[in-house]
Amino acid sequence: MNHRFTRLASQSALALGAAVLALAASGAQAEEKFTYMTNWYAQAEHGGFYQAVATGIYKKYGLDVTIKMGGPQVNILQIMGAGQADCVMGSSDLQMMRARDNGLPVVTVAALFQKDPQVLIAHEDVKSMEEMKTKTVLIAASAQQGYWAWVKSKYGLTDAQTKPYTFNIQPFLADKNMVQQGYLTSEPYAIQKAGAKANTFLLADHGYPSYATTISCMEKTVNDRAKAVADFVKASAEGWKSYLADPAPGNALIKKDNPNMTDDQLAYSVAKMKEMGIVGSGDAVKNGIGTMTEARIKANYDFLVGQKFIDPAKVDLAKAYKLDLARNAKVLP
C-alpha cells in the first residue's frame, strides 16, 4: 500500500507540476508582445493608445504593447513592412489605400477618428471656404494626393494659388492674404498663442469623407495574429473612451515620450477633440469607437480612383479594410 501511495503521490506531484507549467505557459502567452507605431511625436492625438498602456487596458486583454513614436523623417510603412511594427497609425485611410496601390499589402482594421482633423485656417475676414479663392494657400506636398484635391474639386481653388507649407505659422501671421493648412489640435493653438485672430475650417464638417488615426496592419499580421489584432482594436477603443474621460494617465506617458509636449497643448487638444466630435461622433455613436462603414470607405475609394491617385486594378476594396473588428468590439463613446 505504501508503494501505491508513493506512486500516487508522485503522479499527483507530476500532474501539479504540469498544471503549473501550463499555467505559466498560458500566462506567458497572455502577455503577447505587440508593437504599434504612431505617425508623429507623442501628442494628445495619440492619447487613447497611451491611455490603454498607462491604465493596463492592453494587459487586461493579454497584450504587452509597445508604442513607438514616428516623426517627420520616419517611414512607418517601411518599418512595418520590415517587421519592426505589428500595426501602424495611418494619418488617414486614404494614405493606407495609396500604400496598397504601391504594392504594400496593408489592411485598415479600425479608424479611431471619425473626423479627419485636417483644417484650413484663414484670417478673421474669411467667413467661408468659397472666399479662399482670392487667397494664397500654404499647402504641404503630401496634401496634393489627399484633401487638397478634394478642396479644389469642391470649391474651385487652384494649384496656382498655392505655396509650400513648411510647418511654420510665421508666413501666415505676416500676411493677411494667407490661408494655411493645419491640424485642428495643433496650428490653431499656435496661432491663438501668437495673439492672432483666425477662422478654422474643419474639412470633415464640410463633407471631406476621410477617416483618420487608423490601426493599419500587414495582411499577414491580420491573418496570422487575428486574436491579437482584434484584442488590440478593442483595447485601443476602450483606451480612447478612458482618455477622453480622464486623460491624466495617458498624458503622463505622452510627456515621458515627448518631453517638449506641454500641459496647455494637451488640454487644448483634448478639449478640441471632444468639442468637435473627432472620436465619438457619426457612426461611432451607434457602432462603437473605431468603426468604419462600407459607404464611407467606398466614397474614399471612389475619390482616389476619380483623382487617379490609385489604380482600381491594384486596390481590392474588400482586402484593403476589415470592418468587423471595431464593430464586434462595440465600445460606445
- Among 308, 281, 311, which Cα is nearest to 296's? 281
Reported as a single tens digit per residue, the pLDDT across 73-86 is 899 999 999 999 99
Closest to 110 in 3D by CA, of 309, 278, 297, 290: 290
How far apart CA 311 and CA 242 sit, in angstroms, is: 39
Does the pLDDT of residue 87 top 60, yes or no? yes
pLDDT in the model for residue 30: 58
- Report the pLDDT averaged over residues 152-165: 94
Within 13 Å of residue 25, how many CA atoms lie on the same side as its CB?
A: 6
Closest CA to 34 of 254, 231, 294: 231
The three cell numbers of residue 257 are: 515620450
* pLDDT tops 60 at residue 72: yes
β partners of residue 67: 36
Distance of CA 38 to the CA centre of its chain: 7
* Secondary-structure class of domain 32-114+210-329 per CATH: alpha beta
Is-above-0.85 flag for pTM?
yes
The secondary structure element, H or E, covering residue 32 is: strand 32-37
CATH 3.40.190.10 positions along the chain are 32-114+210-329, 118-206
Mean pLDDT of 294-307: 95
Residue 246, Cβ neighbours under 10 Å: how many?
Answer: 11
Q: In the predicted model, what is the mean pLDDT of the chain?
A: 91
C-alpha cell at 210: 476621410
* Residues 6+ positions from 221 with CB-CB distance below 8 Å: 86, 87, 229
Q: Does domain 118-206 have CATH number 3.40.190.10?
A: yes
In a 13 Å sphere around the CA of 10, the CA atoms on its Cβ side amount to 6
DSSP structural state of residue 259: T
Contact of 197 with 112, CB cutoff 8 Å = no
Task: Calculate the dihedral angle through the C-alpha atoms of 256, 183, 198, 194, rounding to the nearest 10 degrees.
Answer: 30
pLDDT-based confidence at 213, cuts 50/70/90?
Answer: very high
DSSP state at residue 145: G
**Residues, the chain, total?**
333
- Tell me the residue type at 249: P
Q: Which residues contact 226 (CB under 8 A, 6 or more apart)?
A: none
| Res 321: pLDDT | 97
Cβ–Cβ < 8 Å for 177, 137: no
On whether the CB atoms of residues 219 and 107 are closer than 8 A, the answer is yes
pLDDT of residue 146: 87
Question: For 167-191, how does the pLDDT look when each residue is reduced to its tens digit (9 = 90+)?
Answer: 899 999 999 999 999 999 999 999 9
The span from the CA of 122 to the CA of 200, in Å, is 7
Residues 214-239: tens digit of each pLDDT: 999 999 999 999 999 999 999 999 99
| DSSP assigned state of 45 | G
Q: Measured between alpha carbons, how far is 327 from 268 in angstroms, rounded to an integer?
A: 30
Whether the CB-CB separation of 298 and 268 falls below 8 Å is answered with no
pLDDT band at 14; cut points 50, 70, 90: very low
For residue 73, the model assigns a pLDDT of 86
